[in-house]
Each structure stands twice: as structure tokens, then as C-alpha cells.
Amino acid sequence: MAKQTPLYATHVRLGGKMVDFAGWDMPLHYGSQVEEHHHVRRDAGMFDVSHMLALDLDGAGAHDLLHKLIANNVDKLTVPGRALYSCMLNPQGGVIDDLIVYFFRPDFYRIVVNAGTADKDLAWISQHAGNVSVKPRRDLAMIAVQGPNARAKAWVALPGSQAASAELKPFHAAWFGDALIARTGYTGEDGFELMIPAERAEATWDALLAAGVEPAGLGARDTLRLEAGMSLYGQDIDEQTSPLEAGLAWTVDLAAPRNFIGKSVLAARRPEKQTFGLLLEDRGVLRAHQKVRTAQGEGEITSGSFSPTMNRSIALARLPAGVAAGDTVEVEIRDKRLKAMVVKPPFVRNGKVLV
């Protein structure tokens, strides 16, 4: 029996096509994934992301625990509510998960991890936690409201929330009563991620709906994040992937003297691969695991789909060192070899095509 979020009945009521995702019964779309995608790029859409897990780290050692556990440096977080994207690595330098950590006090952080890795993450973090309390917050629902009009519509839906969140810069969060409003997301658009008590999830969703925010499913979430050049755990990154080869070097802090799990391996090994975007020049659709032929050797697509914003196929691909943006490569699709151009992601941000 698949797990259900506090919004399961709401999705069914709205005609969501429910599918299994990492053991959760989630909406793939509510009619048209492409329309939902456009709605987020052009106006405002919302996603139920309650399948992801919030973990509260509470205790005097919380800062030191994160120093050890994640590849990005929580010392960058000095203002309460500040958020940071990071990988959590295994001792071999592979990615256990990618996550967002919110700082409130040196002895209190919240991290949000992927649904499919939540159990593994909880076990791993608890194993290293010492006296720090690690509390899974399954009592919370999470709704991502995304798009150029997302914030304005959220303020209409949640009276009083504007005062609490109008001044938030990207990657900052603020409390609004017992809800957390974070200016974060996974679409390349402006917006909020709301963490609210589960019992208020449906009322909040319906208020957003009444304010003109359209429901969007996992299908649109995937094409939006791909256009935004963001990694999907289990597809673009996994325990065998080095973040330095996955386009995530900007999230790995090798410079500071602190020692984090996986650091010594990353520091000692020269990356042999790199991650780029591909733009298909011919008709067709790029998909994960298709082989890419380059002048420097073979590579592989890690995520590929059709980009509704660009009306052509795009992909993220792991390619040999030496390949550069602007190169033309060949992708094997069934019995054909189709031409694609190597580009630097993101493809789309804030409604604009960048490549």
C-alpha cells in the first residue's frame, strides 16, 4: 500500500492521475502536464511536496553535525531562516542525498530531504547525531507555490503572510505563526515552499486554489526542474556519483579547513566527467540512459525530456572531460544518431530561455 500525503484526497477530488513515486501515491498531472508546466512559468502553480521529509536537528552539536555531514558549508548561514542547498556524501564521495538546510540557531536547523531517500537519510544522520535530536516532521505538509505570480497569490491566500514574507530574499525563510514560508523551489521560478501543520494542508491548498494558483503534478515538476538545470536524485545523482562530476561543484566546499564525510576522496580525485546540458537539433526526444558520442569519448544522458517552454527536447548528460559548451555531439536514439548541441545549464530561468 503506497503512502499518502495529507493532500491525497484533495488530489483525487481535483482529478489528479495518481501514480506511485518512491512509495507515495502522488499526482502525475491533473489533465495536462504541459499546461501545468506553462502555468508555473507564466503565472502560478502549486505542488504537493509533502512526500519529502523535514528533519529538525535540535541540540548544541547541530552545527558541528552538519559540518561533518554535508558538503556545503553551513558557516555560510548566519541569518536566521537562511537556506543552503547541499549534497550529503558517503565516505567514497558519492551522494547519499541532496537536501536543503534551513538555519535558525547554531543549535537548531531544519533539513528537507527527498522522499525516496528519507529512511536511509534518517538512519545515516541519526548514526552520526550524538546528542543532537533528529526529529522527523511527518506532522508537516509541504506545498510549493511557484511562478512569477506565486508570491502575490500566496499573500492573497494566506492573510497576514505578506508582512512576514515580503522582504524575504531568495533562499531565505521566515516563520508565519507555526508555518514556515521559504523562498525556495525546484522550478527555476520565483515562489515559496510552505511548511504547514498537516491538518491545515487542505484548507491552505484550497485557499491557494481560490487565489488562482493551479495544481501541478510530478510531471510538470520534472520538466520544470530539468529546464532549470536542477538535479533529480536517483537519476542525475546517486551514491556512485561525485558531485564534482554532476555539475554540483559550486555546492562543495573543499576550501575550508573543516573535514566532512567524503571530502578526502573528492579532494584526491580529479573529475573525469562533467555534466552539461544538451539541446536536440533534430526531432525526437532525449531520454535518460541514451548514449552520447563526443570527440572525447562516450557519455550518457542522465535526464532527458521534452521542454514545453522551448518546444524541443533537452537533457542533462554526463560527458567526458574536454567536451565544451558549443560542441556538437551525437545521441543514439533507437536505430538513429541525432545531433545535439552541448550547452551550459540552466536552459530556462524566470520564464526566460537562456541557451
Residues that bind other proteins (CB under 8 A): 28-29, 32-34, 219, 223, 283-285, 287, 305-306, 308, 313, 334
> In this complex, which beta carbon is closest to other proteins, that of residue 24 or of residue 109?
24
Q: What are phi and psi of 28, to 5 degrees?
A: -80, -40
> In this complex, which beta carbon is closest to other proteins, that of residue 42 or of residue 82?
42
> In this complex, which beta carbon is closest to other proteins, that of residue 164 or of residue 285?
285
Beta bridge partners of 214: 45
Residue of 187, 195, 158, 145 lying closest to 5 (CA atoms): 195
Beta bridge partners of 176: 179
Q: Which three cell numbers stand for residue 62?
A: 547541530
Least spacing, CB of residue 285 vs other proteins, in Å:
4
DSSP secondary structure code for residue 253 in this structure: -
Q: Which three cell numbers stand for residue 55?
A: 528533519
Least spacing, CB of residue 218 vs other proteins, in Å:
10
Least spacing, CB of residue 344 vs other proteins, in Å:
23
Least spacing, CB of residue 143 vs other proteins, in Å:
23
Identity of the residue numbered 62? A
Least spacing, CB of residue 29 vs other proteins, in Å:
7
DSSP string across 52-105: SEEEEEESTTHHHHHHHHBSS-GGG--STTBEEEEEEE-TTS-EEEEEEEEEEE
> In this complex, which beta carbon is closest to other proteins, that of residue 31 or of residue 91?
31
Least spacing, CB of residue 241 vs other proteins, in Å:
23
Q: Do 43 and 146 form a contact (C-beta atoms < 8 A)? A: no
* Helix, strand, coil share (%) of the chain residues, nearest 5: 25, 35, 40
Least spacing, CB of residue 37 vs other proteins, in Å:
8
> In this complex, which beta carbon is closest to other proteins, that of residue 34 or of residue 265?
34
Indicate the burial class of 14 (C-beta count within 10 angstroms; 0-12, 13-18, 19 or more): middle
> In this complex, which beta carbon is closest to other proteins, that of residue 68 or of residue 291?
291
In a 3-state reduction of DSSP, which class is residue 28?
strand
> In this complex, which beta carbon is closest to other proteins, that of residue 184 or of residue 307?
307
Least spacing, CB of residue 131 vs other proteins, in Å:
46
Cα radius of gyration rounded to whole Å, the chain:
20
> In this complex, which beta carbon is closest to other proteins, that of residue 53 or of residue 338?
338
